[in-house]
Each structure stands twice: as C-alpha cells, then as structure tokens.
Amino acid sequence: MLIRHTPEWSIPEREATPEAVFLSRRAVIAAGGLAVAGAVVPCIAARADEEDPTSDLYPATRNPGYVLNREITPEALNLAYNNFYEFGSHKQVAAAAQALRTRPWEVSIDGLVEAERTIGIDELIRRFPLEERLYRLRCVEAWAMAIPWTGFPMRALLDFARPLGSAKYVRMETFLDSAMAPGQRQVWYPWPYVEGLAIEEAANDLAFLVTGAYGKPLARQMGAPLRLAVPWKYGFKSIKSIVRFTFTEERPKTFWETIQPAEYGFWANVNPEVPHPRWSQATEKILGTGERVPTVIYNGYGALVADLYRNMGGEKLFM
Ligand SMILES: Nc1nc2c(c(=O)[nH]1)N[C@H]1C(S)=C(S)[C@@H](COP(=O)(O)O)O[C@H]1N2
Ligand SMILES: [Mo]
C-alpha cells in the first residue's frame, strides 16, 4: 500500500512550530545572548572550511550583474535554518548534516551525452572560474532568504557534458547513503532526492551551480559540495549535494512530484497568484527581519527567464 506522506511544509501549523522556535531564539541572540549562535554555528562552518581542499578559491570575485533589493540573510541564520530532508524533516538539521562526508565525492555525467564520465569534485570545481552572485531564495513554504552564493553557471557544465541534440532535460540526483543520512532510512520517501530542468532552463544565465556561500566553501547543511540555485523557482528545485547529472529525452519525475503530484509540479516557477493548494503564495516572510512582503512572479527574475515559458500554454508552470 502506498503510504500517503505529508511533507513537513504542508503541516498547517508549520508557522507555529520550528520557525517560531527559531525566531524566538533569534530574539534571544538579538538581545545579547550571542552564546547560542557564537558557540554553535561558527564551529560548524569552521569545520567544513578547514577540511575543504578548495578553500583557496574563496572568496571569489562578485559578479556585479546580480544585485539584490534586500539585505543578505545573516550567515548564522542561514546555517541554522535549512531544508535537507536527508538529515531530518524539520529545519534544525545543521548538527546532523555534519555527518555528510564530502570527500571523496564523485560526480557522474551520463545519459544522452557524447561520452559518459565520472569526475572528482575537486577536479570539477577547478575546471570552472568561480564567481559570487547575490540571489534570492523563495521556499514554497513562503519564507525567503538572500544569499551570496559562489559557484559557476550551469551552462559551463552543459558545455563540459556535451549533451546530444536529443537531450531535452537534465535530471539531477543527490547522494544515497542511509548510514550517513538518517532521513534516508525513512523509507516512505522516494530516495534519492531528484530534481530536473529543461535544457533551456539549465542553459539560462541565472541557473547556477553552487560550491560555496558567504565567501567560503559550502557548509554541509547548505548542500555541500555541489548544489543548484535556480532562484526564479521554489526552493525545492535547488537540489543539494549532487552526485549525478543525467541527460534525458523524457521529463524526469522529481522527488516532491513523486510524493505529492497534486501540490508539487515539475516547473515550480514562483507566482504570487497561484496558491499552493493549502496556502497562499501572495506574500513571503523574509527570514531574519520579521518582515512580510509581496511575492513577485518568477521571484523578481522575470526579465531573465519569462521568455523560456512563452509558448507553453497548458503546462502547469507555477506549481
Ligand atoms: N537533496 C535535497 N535538496 C534540497 C532539499 C532537500 O531536502 N534535499 N530541500 C530543498 C528545499 S525545500 C529548499 S527551500 C532548499 C533549502 O536550501 P537551504 O537549506 O540552503 O536554505 O533546498 C532544497 N534542496
Ligand atoms: Mo523549500
């Protein structure tokens, strides 16, 4: 029998649980109780940094083409509030995620490509010039952050992968290791986490493969050593800890689409006018500020991406 599982973000009282707990902790920090963030969070970051064989690449030069009209989310907040179901279906996964072993780490490129191959993460990262970009992140749960990512355009990976003309999509997969990631022992989830993009989306300037954030190698809880950032789409499209890129003719079935097809589609472009079946997407909470602001179509990136979807009537572009 298929167990119908409800994702954590669909629990109606979600506003009242982990986030409220977190934000009240923030209030403590703001009031001078720095011991909490000071003692715990930077240690987590420092550990990831020390062990990383690519630390010499950071900080990378900021690309001035990507600017924000909101403040960067404080790093400590970003390190302590994550969605990474491999380490738990709640936001406080940072400590558990330190079990993620990020070396050795191999990335496979397969499917409809000129030549399938596997490449070590350090060789992969060093192939491409890294740059910093300031991007928004809008979770489907209606909270938002703004993050200084470091990485390289996904188009550079496409050039390296040399997909065949018949490839229409790129499917991405997260690691699978339930000994390391306790969430993967929750067998009702369709592990490994899978996401996908149309080739044209992956080739868009905005699609970014992330190797770092806040001027250093990516923290484990943020999806080290390699994740996606597609800021015009809901956050669940931005898959973490990628081990595989597969080029396909058929549209891949994603993790959340497999779990709840009526609520989480393939395209998942941000749109304030298309509510989630169980809550509005009209506004979003900017984490760390207490502010709630109107959501913008394509999360404000329409000038760069709206053309991708011009002739796609009939597709559910916004779920
Ligand atoms: N492998 C994997 N990738 C994932 C997730 C996940 O649970 N597992 N969560 C997604 C969701 S819902 C969001 S909002 C973002 C959160 O990224 P952050 O924790 O760095 O803010 O990662 C996305 N990528
Ligand atoms: Mo999300």
Q: What's the 9 CA to ligand 2 centre distance in angstroms?
A: 8
Q: What confidence score (pLDDT) does residue 12 get?
A: 40
pLDDT digits (tens, 9 = 90+) for 269-296: 999 999 999 999 999 999 999 999 999 9
- Cα separation, 152 vs 157, in Å, equals 8
The total of other beta-carbon atoms located within 10 Å of residue 190's CB is: 15
pLDDT digits (tens, 9 = 90+) for 69-89: 999 999 999 999 999 999 999
Ligand 1 binding pocket, CB closer than 6 Å? 82-86, 137, 139, 174, 193, 222-223, 235-236, 238-241
Determine if the pTM surpasses 0.95.
no
Query: Which protein residue's CA is at the shortest distance from atom 10 of ligand 1?
Result: 236
Output phi, psi for 166, to 5 deg. Answer: -80, -10
For residues 19-48, average pLDDT: 39
pLDDT digits (tens, 9 = 90+) for 149-171: 999 999 999 999 999 999 999 99
27/278: higher pLDDT:
278
Ramachandran category for residue 88: left, alpha or beta (phi over 0 → left; psi -120 to 50 → alpha): left
pLDDT digits (tens, 9 = 90+) for 167-188: 999 999 999 999 999 999 999 9
Does CATH number 3.90.420.10 belong to domain 13-302? yes
pLDDT score of 49 more than 50? no
pLDDT digits (tens, 9 = 90+) for 227-251: 999 999 999 999 999 999 999 999 9
The total of other beta-carbon atoms located within 10 Å of residue 228's CB is: 22
- Distances from the Cα of 287 to the Cαs of 77, 136, 143, 190, in angstroms? 8, 12, 7, 29
Q: What confidence score (pLDDT) does residue 155 get?
A: 98
Output phi, psi for 157, to 5 deg. Answer: -70, -40
Q: Which ligand 1 atom sits nearest the alpha carbon of residue 145? A: 21
pLDDT digits (tens, 9 = 90+) for 96-146: 999 999 999 999 999 999 999 999 999 999 999 999 999 999 999 999 999
Q: What's the 181 CA to ligand 1 centre distance in angstroms?
A: 14
* Binding positions for Mo-molybdopterin: 82, 85-86, 139, 174, 227, 238-240
- Cα separation, 78 vs 80, in Å, equals 5
Residue 14 — very low, low, confident or very high, per pLDDT cuts 50/70/90?
Answer: very low
Structure tokens at 149: 């990512």
Question: Could you tell me the sign of the dihedral formed by the alpha carbons of 182, 240, 96, 50, in that order?
Answer: positive
Amino acid symbol at 242: I
Q: What's the 114 CA to ligand 1 centre distance in angstroms?
A: 31
- Dump the DSSP string for 204-252: STT-EEEEEETTEEPPGGGTTT-EEE-TTB-GGGS--SEEEEEEESSPP
* Binding positions: 82, 85-86, 139, 174, 227, 238-240
Query: Are 125 and 57 spatial neighbours (Cβ–Cβ below 8 Å)?
Result: yes
User: pLDDT over 70 for what percent of the chain?
Assistant: 84
- Dump the DSSP string for 113-164: BSS-EEEEHHHHHHHS--EEEEEEEE-TTSEEEEEEEEEEEHHHHHHHH-B-
Q: Are strands 291-294 and 283-286 parallel, antiparallel or unpaired?
A: antiparallel
Q: What confidence score (pLDDT) does residue 51 get?
A: 73
Query: Which protein residue's CA is at the shortest distance from atom 6 of ligand 1?
Result: 84
Residue 192 — very low, low, confident or very high, per pLDDT cuts 50/70/90?
Answer: very high
Residue 300 — very low, low, confident or very high, per pLDDT cuts 50/70/90?
Answer: very high
Length reported for the chain: 319
Closest CA to 318 of 202, 232, 224: 232
- Cα separation, 88 vs 183, in Å, equals 5
- Cα separation, 130 vs 124, in Å, equals 11
- Cα separation, 238 vs 137, in Å, equals 9
Q: What's the 172 CA to ligand 2 centre distance in angstroms?
A: 17
